């Protein structure tokens, strides 16, 4: 992960295919991140509501901390969640046969979220490495493709300008200015693509031919 990538040997077509795959990878990762963020916001709201209700010491002894239903002696008996420690009703908890304990729906959802999101893995990776491998590939590809295209455009503009000047020194200045403007626009696009398209979390801009 710490090694520098050298992808200068790849052709332009190969670079475009790799960038297309990485573009889809970033989009899928961003959608998953948004979905996880939405679930986390719901869980945080529930935690805040629970914190307010738990300030009333007698409330959770007689009522479910999740749905606020009153506990009964025979029906709707209370069960203690082994994860958060709050008392919940039978509708707001699940029985864990392995531990012979109960877990409330909020804690179960939070546990399921961590497993699906692999939060422990991404947190460990983000602390150890600054970028994902795909981001390094994009960074290397954009360096090679952008500079190659920019260099090619520069040579083409210079060649065209030289031909126009040699062919007729009295050609209108507007045509020469048009060549300069075309090159300046292309150069600005390449620089913008390289700055904004090489990092994780920022939408990847396509390279225009």
* pLDDT tens-digit series, residues 85-131: 999 999 999 999 998 999 999 999 998 888 776 654 555 555 544 45
Q: Distance between CA 184 and CA 54 in Å, rounded?
A: 64
Most confident listed range (19-28, 76-85, 109-118, 156-165): 76-85
pLDDT at 22 over 60: yes
Which residues lie closer than 8 Å to 149 by C-beta, 6 or more apart?
A: 186, 190, 207
The token pair at 141 is 């590809």
The token pair at 104 is 């409330």
pLDDT at 203 over 50: no
pTM of the model: 0.49
**pLDDT (mean) for 22-30:** 80
Is 188 exposed, middle or buried, given 0-12, 13-18 or 19+ CB atoms closer than 10 A? exposed
* Helix and strand totals (H; E) in the chain: 6, 4
Q: Delimit the domains of the chain by residue range.
A: 7-55+128-167, 62-117
Which residues lie closer than 8 Å to 137 by C-beta, 6 or more apart?
A: 5, 7, 18, 22
Strand spans (E) along 58-125: 79-80, 87-88, 93-96, 101-104
Q: What's residue 156's pLDDT?
A: 58
Question: Which class is 62-117 in CATH?
Answer: alpha beta
Distance of CA 32 to the CA centre of its chain: 7
The string of pLDDT tens digits covering residues 34-93 is 888 888 888 999 999 999 998 987 999 999 999 999 999 888 899 999 999 999 999 999
């Amino acid at each position: 992960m710490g090694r520098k990538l050298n992808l200068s040997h790849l052709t332009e077509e190969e670079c475009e295919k790799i960038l297309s795959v990485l573009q889809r990878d970033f989009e899928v990762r961003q959608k998953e991140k948004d979905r996880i963020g939405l679930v986390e916001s719901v869980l945080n709201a529930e935690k805040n509501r629970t914190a307010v209700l738990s300030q009333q010491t007698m409330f959770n002894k007689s009522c479910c901390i999740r749905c606020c239903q009153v506990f009964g002696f025979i029906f709707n008996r209370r069960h203690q969640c082994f994860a958060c420690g709050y008392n919940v009703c039978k509708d707001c908890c699940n029985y864990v046969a392995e531990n012979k304990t109960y877990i409330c729906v909020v804690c179960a959802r939070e546990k399921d979220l961590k497993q699906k999101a692999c939060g422990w893995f991404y947190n460990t990776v983000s602390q150890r490495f600054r970028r994902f491998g795909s981001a390094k590939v994009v960074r290397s590809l954009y360096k090679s493709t952008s500079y190659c295209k920019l260099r090619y455009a520069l040579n083409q503009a210079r060649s065209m300008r030289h031909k126009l000047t040699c062919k007729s020194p009295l050609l209108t200045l507007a045509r020469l200015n048009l060549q300069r403007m075309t090159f300046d626009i292309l150069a600005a696009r390449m620089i913008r693509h390289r700055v904004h398209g090489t990092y994780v979390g920022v939408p990847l801009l396509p390279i225009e031919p």
